[in-house]
Amino acid sequence: MTISIDRIDPRDTTQLDFARTAPQIVDAARAIPTATLHEAGGKIGAFASAIKPVAPGFRLCGPAVTVHAPGGDNLWLHRAIYAAQPGDVLVVSVSDAFEHGYWGEVMSTASQVRGLAGLVIDGCVRDGGLLEEIGFPVFARGLCIRGTGKDFGARGWINAPTVFGDVTVHAGDLIVGDSDGVVCIPRDRAGTVVEAGIAREANEADQCRRLRAGETTLDIFGWG
C-alpha cells in the first residue's frame, strides 16, 4: 500500500529576487564590532543575548537570507542553502522550538562549498567540535543532540520578513556577528550606520588615548 503525502511546493513561499546590502558596505562593516553598530544605529537590531558563536573565533558579516522553519524540522534550512548566494548569511527562525539540533557537520560543509558567509539560528545546533573544525561561522542558542524531521507537507518561508524576538529581519538586511552577539541593520540604513560606526570607533580610540594620558571618564564626558 502506498501512502500519499501532500507536498508543499517550496517555490510558493520562497523569494529569490530581492535587494541586498551593497558589497562595499558589507566589506566596511566587517571590521566594526556588533556593539558599535548597535549603538551607531540608535540601539537597534540586537538579537537575543543567548545567540552566540558556537566557536570562539567565529565572526560573520553579510546580507540576510531569512528562513522561517517549522519547529523541529530542518528541511527548509536545506532548501535555503541552495536559495542563497555566495556571501549571504542564513538567518533562521524555528518557531520557538529551540531544543533541536537543526544544523551540523553536513550542512556546514554544504554551505561552505556554496560560499555562504554564515548561519544565525534562533535555536540549537549539534556537532559542535566538527563545526569549529570546518570553520563555517555558526551562531546559535547552544548545542542540542535532539534530532529533527523533514516534513514535506509543512510550510516554511524563505526571504519573508521574519521576527527574532523584538527584531524583524528582512531579506538583504546587513547581519554582523562576533563574540558579543549578533546585530541586524536594515538594508536602507546600512551605509549610514556603518559610517557612524567607523566614526564611533575612532572617537572611542581617542577617548582611550586620553584616559591613558591621565584624564578621567568624568572629565571626558563632562560628568564631573
Task: Give me 112's grid cell.
Answer: 561552505
| Residues annotated in a binding site for Mg(2+) | 127
Q: Which amino acid is at 56?
A: P
Q: Are 196 and 41 in contact (CB under 8 A)?
A: yes
pLDDT, tens digit, for every residue of 31-81?
999 999 999 999 999 999 999 999 999 999 999 999 999 999 999 999 999
Q: Is 22 exposed, middle or buried (0-12, 13-18, 19+ CB in 10 A)?
A: middle
Residue 190, pLDDT > 70, answer: yes
In the annotated binding site, the residues are 104-107, 126-127
Pick out the residues of the known binding site for substrate: 104-107, 126
Q: Which residues pair with 92 in a beta bridge?
A: 67, 121
In-domain check, residue 170: yes
State the residue range of the domain holding 116: 10-215
Question: Is a pLDDT exceeding 70 seen at residue 5?
Answer: no
Bridging pattern class, strands 174-178 and 60-68: antiparallel
- Residue 2 counted as domain residue: no
Q: Which of 113, 115, 141 is nearest to 128 (CA)?
A: 141
User: What proportion of the chain, given as a percentage, has pLDDT over 90?
Assistant: 96
Does an H or E element contain 68, and which? Answer: strand 60-68
CATH code assigned at 164? 3.50.30.40
Q: Can you tell me the distance from the alpha carbon of 115 to that of 112, in angstroms, rounded to the nearest whole number? A: 5
User: Is residue 148 classed as helix, strand or coil in its secondary structure?
Assistant: coil
Q: What pLDDT, in 10s, does the model give residues 108-154?
A: 999 999 999 999 999 999 999 999 999 999 999 999 999 999 999 99
Q: Please state the domain count of the chain.
A: 1
Q: What's the CA gap between 104 and 92, in Å, rounded?
A: 14
Identify any residues that bridge with 127 across adjacent strands, giving them in sequence order: none
